[in-house]
A and B are shown apart, each in its own frame.
Chain A
Amino acid sequence: MEKKIWGAVAMLGLGGLLVACQPGGPKLIDKADTTSDTRSGYSYAEPETQAMQDDDFNNPAMLWADIGGDQWTTVDGEAGKSCQSCHGEAAKSMKGVGAKFPIWDAKLKTPKAVEMQINECRTERMKAQPWKWESDQMLGMTMYVKMQSRGMPVNVDVSGPMKAWLERGKEFYNTRRGLLDMACSHCHVDNAGNMIRANRLSQGQANGFPTYRLKWQKPGSLHRRFKGCNDQVRAEPFKRGSEEYLALETYVMWRASGLPVETPAVRN
């Protein structure tokens, strides 16, 4: 137990310590730059990692996006439909759609992530089995849908009932939690651009999810990343699709307003 906690402290490092040990890398981003304007995680990545994202035949996430593309036209479920049966060509019908998520779900009375929309289509219109949040199919389809908005600005509507969720997400973002007693904002606002031990902290912008992470050696959902951050501050993580993470997704996507959709991004 003891060793585990020391490990955790070390893995993460803590604000104060890290900031002190900032080696002068070739691509050092001035902290002032990172707090005054909105920057994609892409701008914090090493050139090699950027190169992986820039080329669809180098970016390993595209293997999953291809699953999404295949599933788009695959008939599944008792209704005998595929995504294409209702939506036609994804390149046309889904253009701009992913950039607007999460949207308000009037039935559930919560924000709705792309993953939830996909399963709603599957269970209600296709009469097919829902996919698990982190399954290859779900990652692939979420990517495929969001990819159709690549380069378009993130644009979440936080008016009406979404406003309360934005506030709830903002509160989550700024609340200290876990054994390390840290809020999201400690790393991604106060220390964006600074080193956290061996890694550079970004603003934690979510415009590239699902993202291929070098650490994971596969792509993962935004809610997986939330869980990872919560784990790293030694806080009890919430479930993917939970109200807490839907509120947080609403806030971080609003925070990313104007950044281009980069799905599927490649990050450390």
Chain B
Amino acid sequence: MSKKPRIKVPKKAAKGEIVQIKTLISHNMETGTRKDKSGKLIPRNIINKFTCTLNGKEVLSANLYPSVAANPYFAFHVRATESGTFEFTWTDDEGKEIKASNEMTVA
């Protein structure tokens, strides 16, 4: 059961307006320092990269380490310059990529 990311992007913005974007994704962010019941280290598996692009151009990205809490949350800003598609990508240590996109109209 994969959980979809939860994203807040305003549908409309005025040109030049600075809008806030919020993203949530489900991931247990396994640190690699925990042991299972048999005493074996559980291998690290975290989301290590997050990117946000607008019409294919990177606006913001983040490199994550095990100190980021489970189910990573980000709130950041974007200057509304053109209408288009935001694409969000989360990549974990197993190479799994989760993508989501949202449209915003700038008038």
Contact = CB atoms under 8 A, between A and B. Distances in A.
A137 interface: yes
Given A58-B73, A60-B71, A60-B73, A218 B28 contact: yes
A126 interface: no
B22 A217 contact: no
A152 interface: no
B71 A66 contact: no
Of A60, A64, A70, A137, most buried by chain B (CB within 10 Å of CB) is A60
B35 interface: no
Given A57-B22, A67-B1, A137-B1, A62 B6 contact: yes
Interface in B59-89: 69-71, 73, 75
A205 to B, nearest CB: 24
Contacts of B12: none
Interface in A182-222: 217-218
A218 B70 contact: yes
Nearest to A217: B70
B99 interface: no
Contact of A63 (B3, B8, B22, B75): B3
Contact of B3 (A57, A135, A136, A217): A136
A60 B71 CA distance: 7
A262 B6 CA distance: 20
A261 B70 CA distance: 25
Of A55, A57, A137, A218, most buried by chain B (CB within 10 Å of CB) is A57
A91 to B, nearest CB: 18
A66 B100 CA distance: 15
A60 B69 CA distance: 11
A63 B25 contact: yes
B4 A217 contact: no
- Top 8 nearest A-B pairs (CB, nearest first) are A217-B70, A60-B71, A57-B8, A57-B22, A63-B26, A63-B3, A136-B1, A62-B6
Interface of B: 1, 3-8, 22, 24-26, 28, 69-71, 73, 75
Given A58-B24, A136-B3, 19 more contacts: A55-B22, A57-B7, A57-B24, A58-B22, A60-B24, A60-B26, A60-B73, A63-B3, A63-B6, A63-B24, A63-B71, A66-B3, A67-B3, A70-B4, A135-B1, A137-B1, A217-B28, A218-B70, A218-B71
Interface of A: 55, 57-58, 60, 62-64, 66-67, 70, 135-137, 217-218
